């Protein structure tokens, strides 16, 4: 992973505060943060944040600036997987918004 992705992973790690329920794992070129074995978010190359949400929320959230359906290889994922550009994560408040969104999805589906 590149420096921007590593920096994002460091920011995510710091904001999650070492939660006991969060596992960190390298997956598909991404530093993934998992809860109960399911991806919560992932720090991707270029400082892009991969966020897992429910399909309905994903459709609404994908209209925000800097947000698009995630692309993995040649495949565009469904609306439950979003890529948030580094520009949309300029400060920790914006990053925390996305971590909260992902956590809400995780709790709702768990």
How many Cβ atoms are within 10 Å of 87's Cβ, its own excluded? Answer: 11
pTM of the model: 0.90
Residue 17 gets the label, from left (phi > 0), alpha (psi -120 to 50) or beta, of left
Mean pLDDT by 10 residues, the chain (110 residues): 92 84 87 89 95 90 94 85 95 94 76
């Amino acid at each position: 992973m590149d420096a921007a992705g590593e920096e994002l992973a460091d920011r995510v790690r710091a904001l999650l505060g070492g939660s006991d329920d969060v596992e960190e794992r390298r997956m598909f070129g991404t530093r993934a943060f998992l809860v109960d074995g399911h991806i919560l978010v992932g720090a991707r190359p270029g400082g892009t944040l991969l966020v897992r949400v429910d399909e309905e929320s994903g459709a609404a959230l994908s209209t925000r600036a800097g947000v698009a359906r995630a692309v993995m290889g040649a495949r565009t994922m469904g609306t439950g997987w979003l890529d948030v550009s580094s520009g949309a994560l300029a400060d920790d408040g914006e990053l925390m918004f996305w971590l909260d969104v992902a956590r809400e999805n995780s709790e709702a589906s768990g």
